[in-house]
């Protein structure tokens, strides 16, 4: 069904983008991976070197885009996506959400390709509605330190819908909730790699606030499956993809300590500005229109992720 089809993945050397490249190649598509490697890594795609159906282009998507040949899909995943990244790269984050989305939508229009925007649960800000449904407009501080990421994605969604309505571009919008798995960067500020690395090294797990804020964690394989189902659907409105199983950060820290058999303790610090107090997707729409829901249990996915970090830090375990 997919043989002969070609996809562009921007941000394809990142955590999610590289898993998406793998998935698309496994589905029989040829893949062009574009990344400027500001937060992505060639290590995430080095196993694809020599694959005749895979091509890597080092480029910033905010610049002029030219890609010869046909394209059937464009997956726009380019963006700093962790708190440390977008606080250190605020202008780049705004540019890739605005100019980068504009350039990739223009390419989709020229190629008559299906365009999928990787948006985020951050468009809901610090939500006043729980759990979050797609028709919730959010509670975002546009001038706070996190606003550069939130508003970049909100603008990207607005631009995507404008291209769909005005130019007739075939578009999709996925709102991604907390996702974890192998290939996450160790020190990118996200809670999963932070806690795992601290636990493996026997350091205190840094819990911000009193640890009562909640998150919901989706394993990367489940997320990528949802992304592809959305891409080949006819759904043009935003769709939440995530795991609705909610837990407090304190509970999550205790789970990581147990799974790593670590002697680490919890260390509490001040809550960052505008840190969301709750985060839980309502995935009713994904179930209804995509027949999708997460399948990987949290402990199973965490064990895979912990083993990946253990091998990355200390080398493969002896057989």
- What CATH number does the domain containing 175 carry? 3.40.50.720
Report if residue 317 sits inside a domain. no
User: What is the pTM for the complete model shown?
Assistant: 0.94
In this structure, are residues 124 and 138 in contact, taking their beta carbons and an 8 Å threshold? yes
The residues near 308 (Cβ < 8 Å, ≥ 6 apart) are: 181, 182, 183
Domain count along the chain: 1
Report if residue 192 sits inside a domain. no
Structure tokens belonging to residue 282 = 């309502």
Tell me, yes or no, if 64 is annotated catalytic.
no
Domain membership of residue 228 as a residue range: 6-180+218-243+281-295
Report if residue 301 sits inside a domain. no
Report if residue 232 sits inside a domain. yes
Q: Give dist(CA 138, CA 123) in Å, integer.
A: 6
Report if residue 271 sits inside a domain. no
Report if residue 145 sits inside a domain. yes
In this structure, are residues 309 and 188 in contact, taking their beta carbons and an 8 Å threshold? no
Q: What is the dihedral of CA 131, 136, 137, 138, to 10 degrees?
A: -10
Report if residue 266 sits inside a domain. no
Q: Find the catalytic residue in 86, 124, 149, 219.
A: 149
Q: What is the pLDDT along the chain (319 residues), one digit of tens a residue?
A: 577 899 999 999 999 999 999 999 999 999 999 999 999 999 999 999 999 999 999 999 999 999 999 999 999 999 998 888 888 999 999 999 999 999 999 999 999 999 999 999 999 988 889 999 999 999 999 999 889 999 999 999 999 999 999 999 999 999 999 999 999 998 777 899 999 999 999 999 999 888 898 899 999 999 999 999 999 999 999 999 999 999 999 999 999 999 999 999 998 888 777 677 778 899 999 999 999 999 999 999 999 999 999 998 654 443 3
């Amino acid at each position: 069904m997919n043989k002969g089809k070609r996809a562009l993945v921007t941000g394809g050397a990142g955590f999610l983008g590289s898993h998406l490249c793998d998935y698309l190649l496994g589905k029989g598509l040829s893949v062009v991976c574009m990344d400027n490697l500001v937060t992505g890594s060639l290590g995430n795609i080095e196993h694809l070197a020599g694959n005749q159906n895979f091509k890597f282009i080092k480029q910033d998507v905010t610049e002029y885009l030219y890609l010869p040949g046909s394209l059937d899909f464009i997956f726009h995943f380019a963006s700093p996506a962790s708190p440390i990244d977008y606080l250190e790269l605020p202008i780049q984050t705004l540019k890739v959400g605005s100019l980068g989305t504009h350039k990739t939508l223009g390419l989709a229009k020229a190629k008559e390709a299906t365009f999928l925007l990787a948006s985020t649960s951050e468009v809901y800000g610090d939500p006043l509605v729980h759990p979050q449904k797609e028709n919730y407009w959010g509670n975002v501080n546009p001038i706070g330190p996190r606003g550069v990421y939130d508003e970049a994605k909100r603008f990207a969604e607005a631009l995507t819908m404008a291209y769909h309505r005005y130019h007739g571009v075939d578009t999709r919008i996925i709102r991604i909730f907390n996702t974890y798995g192998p290939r996450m960067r160790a020190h990118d500020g996200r809670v999963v790699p932070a806690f795992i690395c601290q636990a493996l090294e026997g350091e205190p797990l840094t819990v911000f606030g009193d640890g009562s804020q909640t998150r919901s964690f989706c394993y990367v394989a489940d997320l990528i499956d949802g992304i592809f189902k959305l891409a080949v659907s006819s759904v043009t409105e935003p769709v939440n993809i995530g795991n609705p199983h909610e837990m407090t950060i304190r509970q999550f820290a205790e789970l990581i300590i147990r799974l790593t058999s670590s002697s680490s303790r919890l260390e509490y610090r001040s809550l960052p500005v505008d840190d969301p107090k709750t985060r839980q997707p309502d995935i009713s729409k994904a179930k209804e229109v995509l027949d999708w829901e997460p399948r990987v249990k949290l402990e199973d996915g965490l064990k895979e992720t912990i083993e990946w970090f253990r091998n990355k830090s200390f080398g493969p375990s002896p057989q």
